[in-house]
Chains A and B, each alone.
Chain A
Amino acid sequence: MTAPATQPPVTKAALPGQRGGGRGGPGRRDGMEGKTLNAFSHGFLVLWAIMIVLPLFWILLGNFKTDSQIKSSAWTWPTEWTFDAFQRGWEKGVGDYLLNTLIVMIFSVPLTMLLGAMAAYVLARYEFVGNRFLYYFFVAGSMFPVFLALVPLYFMVDRLGMLNTYQGLILVYVAYSLPFTVFYLYSFFRTLPTAVHEAAVIDGASHTRVFFQIMVPMAKPGLISVGIFNVLGQWNQYILPLTLMQKQSGGDADRSMLAQGLVSLMNQGNYETDLPALYAGMTISMIPVFVVYVSFQRQVQSGLTVATLK
């Protein structure tokens, strides 16, 4: 198990051939082959990049079109560059959904980090009976689709009286984020040196104090990586809120999360008449993801890679 955050920057290592140009090439054959291959590979890569970017860009343009422009033809260009669609989308519920999502995540992300770090720390650095078992027990949770637990989970949350409440969703988010968080931080805590820890204990620091004042600051890079991952994951969560944040009666407040709210807006017949507003809502929910991803893309990529490779 390797410590993910210390992986070398990917882009540099991807160009191994560029070191030392002194050595003679293996002959013309390779040069020719290299050239054709280069054009060939560029062609495919560019094509796929277009296939990723074009639909997204097309949707962004949709924010500025009128509804009838969107519905008449795919290849229209916006005539007026106004932000009206954002305002309409915001008023049609996107603002509330955004607020709901933020309320839940303000609690769920730090709580996930705290509980995940506590469990990972104890499992990684203390020997006790059942230590390995508990670790695998946590890791196993990430192997099964959430889907399988949905029916009983719904009734469990119902029995706790927490359907359609923020608290209920916060606890569920934390519970379902724990496997990955524990798994990731476990390997991180294992790599930290023991000397500092021992010195602190000799100086009379309690275990709890050692954790909060020494280990947590030292594990900061790992905490940041897994934190970003949890932010993205919980921001994009769909199935859990869909099941647990349904209005139980007509008078209930709509506590939909952003992703869930957007889909229900999409499915509402009357909303069909205002596609620009729907696209604006989509843009609003995509911007934070985009910013987080581009700023931390290395951590995001290595985090997910580690999650898969173990």
Chain B
Amino acid sequence: MHRKKYPFIVGFLVLPVGLYLLLVIWPYIQTISYSFTDWSGASQNFGFVGFDNYKDLADDDVFLKALRHNALLLVLVPTLTILLSLFFAFMVNVGGRGGAGGVSGVKGSGFYRIVFFFPQVLSVAILAILFKAVYRGDDSGLINGSLQAVGLGDKNNPTEWLNDPDLVLWCIVFVMIWAGAGFYMVLFSAAMQSIPKDIYEAALLDGAGRVQTFFRVTLPLLWETIQTAWVFLAILSMDAFLLISTLTSQDFGGGPDHSSEVISTYLMRNFQTYSKSGYACAMGVVMLLLTLIVSIVTLRLSRRERIEY
């Protein structure tokens, strides 16, 4: 039965594990060690500088601005996305015309599920081209054009969505929610469906309204899923690189005047444009730490007793 078991195990694991170690794990580890050097990236000569990169980061105004933007995204994107998708999931699952005492979703819930989810499978590159057109600054942009069509926009002074320092970050937040809400709706729907129907029916028989049912039954039972969603959205908004770098002005995005700068865009510019690889790696480590902190805090704060059903 155990004939040649170990050679087989090793034989099957050596390639995947080797490749994974070499191209995924090792680079992650290297990021940490490079962050203590003054490496330019151009050559393999570099010196150990201790925590200098980190000290520089603390004095770097652009970096601090990026950090603040990341913090803003970290609060806004998960909150708004989760609220919206919870609302949609509830609508799709229990918002429908109450049948004979039962709870039902709206008609065409399958259709909504398919349509809402679609942005999730589109590449960020496609999102970028799409929203570049939607946000275009003259009246050929979808938003400006539509505003003018209904008489709201100012034809001579159209809004430059992506070039307005006060608006650009909000535009990015909107795209992130647009793309993500459908996915989390499906996620919450799946969780809602695993809640036994009897609980709903019992609540309804006891005279609870739908809104009450939502807050007293659905929400508590969904808590764990929401928590997971929060962590994932936090990681997502920590990155945000692709959207910002493709939609906003400046090398690797972040414009105008750093008003949409996030750590990832600044990291990439330091690495590719300024050839400050060690410095860029230090930013990577800060991102990693922040991600870990957010995940741990989220999981801790929202820890509740597990509800069995």
Residues on B with C-beta less than 8 A from A171 are 19, 23
- How far apart are the CA atoms of A44 and B86 in the complex, in Å? 13
Choice from A49, A122, A260, A302 contacting B12 with Cβ under 8 Å: A122
A175, B284: Cβ atoms closer than 8 Å: no
Q: In the assembled complex, how far is the CB of residue B280 from the closest CB belonging to chain A, in whole angstroms?
A: 6
Residues of A within 8 A of B22 (CB): 156, 175
The answer to the question of B168 belonging to the interface, with a C-beta cut-off of 8 Å to chain A, is no
Q: Is A24 a contact partner of B88 (Cβ separation < 8 A)?
A: no
- Quick check: B41 and A141 within 8 Å, CB to CB? no
The reply to whether A263 and B125 contact each other, CB–CB distance below 8 Å, is: yes
Asked whether, in the complex, the Cβ of B241 is within 8 Å of the Cβ of A34, the reply is no
- Which B residues between 257 and 308 are near A, CB-CB below 8 angstroms? 264, 267-268, 271, 277, 280-281, 284-285, 287-288, 291
Listed stretches A79-87, A111-119, A247-255; interface member: A111-119
Are B123 and A147 touching (Cβ within 8 A)? no
Give, as a whole number of angstroms, the nearest-CB distance from A17 to chain B.
3
Give the docked Cα–Cα distance between A128 and B2 (Å): 12
B129 touching A262, Cβ below 8 Å = yes
* Chain A residues with CB below 8 A from B70, complex form: none
Is the beta-carbon distance between A41 and B106 smaller than 8 angstroms?
yes
Q: Does A203 contact B (CB under 8 A)?
A: no
Q: Complex Cα distance A251/B238, Å? A: 37
State whether A56 touches B130 (Cβ < 8 A): yes
Complex Cα distance A119/B17, Å? 8
In Å, the complex CA distance between A62 and B100 comes to: 48
A220 on the B face (CB < 8 A):
no
Contact with B along A278-310 (1 / 0, CB 8 A): 110010011001101110010011101100111
Binary interface encoding of chain B residues 116-131 relative to chain A, with 1 for a CB under 8 A from any of its CBs, else 0: 1111111111101111
Q: Are A304 and B189 in contact (CB under 8 A)?
A: no
- Taken together as a complex, chains A and B put the C-alpha atoms of A275 and B140 apart, in Å, by 12
**CA of A40 to CA of B4, assembled, Å:** 65
When distances are taken between beta carbons in the complex, the residues of chain A under 8 Å from B145 are: 73-75
Whether B151 is near chain A, meaning CB under 8 Å from some CB there, is no
Residue pair B246, A263 in contact (C-beta under 8 Å): yes
Decide if A21 touches B99 in the complex (CB within 8 Å).
yes
Indicate if A145 sits at the interface (CB-CB under 8 A): yes
Q: Are A55 and B142 in contact (CB under 8 A)?
A: yes
Which residues of the partner chain A approach B223 to less than 8 Å between Cβ atoms?
Answer: none
Mostly, the B contact residues are helix
Residues of chain B within 8 A (CB-CB) of A260 are 125
Give the chain A neighbours of B91 by CB distance below 8 A.
41, 44-45
CB of A16 closer than 8 Å to a CB of B: yes
Alpha-carbon distance A115/B19, docked complex (angstroms): 10
A151 with B277: CB separation less than 8 A: yes
Known: A16-B102, A45-B112. A141 touches B20 (CB 8 A): yes
* Shortest Cβ gap from A283 to chain B (Å): 10
Q: Tell me, rounded to whole Å, the shortest Cβ–Cβ distance linking A183 to chain B.
A: 12
Chain A residues whose CB sits within 8 angstroms of the CB of B146 once the complex forms = 74-75
Please state if B95 and A38 are interface contacts (CB–CB under 8 Å): yes
Contact A148–B288 (Cβ < 8 Å): yes
Given contacts A147-B264, A176-B23, A178-B19, are A55 and B125 in contact (CB under 8 A)? no
A17: contacting residue among B28, B87, B103, CB under 8 A: B103
Is B79 located at the chain interface by the 8 A CB criterion?
no
Q: Lowest 5 A-B CB distances belong to which pairs? A: A74-B145, A17-B102, A236-B123, A17-B104, A259-B125
> Which A residues fall within an 8 A CB radius of B?
7, 10-11, 13-26, 29-31, 33-35, 37-38, 40-42, 44-45, 48-49, 51-56, 58-59, 62, 70-75, 115-116, 118-119, 121-123, 126, 128, 134, 137-138, 141, 143-145, 147-153, 155-157, 171-172, 174-176, 178-179, 182, 198, 201, 206-208, 211, 232, 235-239, 259-260, 262-263, 266-267, 275, 278-279, 282, 285-286, 289-290, 292-294, 297, 300-302, 304-305, 308-310
In the complex, given contacts A175-B23, A279-B129, what are 7 additional A-B residue pairs having Cβ atoms less than 8 angstroms apart?
A10-B186, A14-B93, A34-B210, A41-B95, A74-B142, A282-B130, A294-B114
B binding-site residues for A, Cβ under 8 Å = 1, 4-6, 8-9, 11-13, 15-17, 19-20, 22-28, 30-31, 34, 41, 87-88, 91-93, 95-107, 109-126, 128-134, 138-142, 144-146, 149, 178, 181-183, 186-187, 189-191, 193, 197, 200, 204-205, 207, 209-210, 225, 228-229, 232, 235, 238-239, 241-242, 246, 264, 267-268, 271, 277, 280-281, 284-285, 287-288, 291
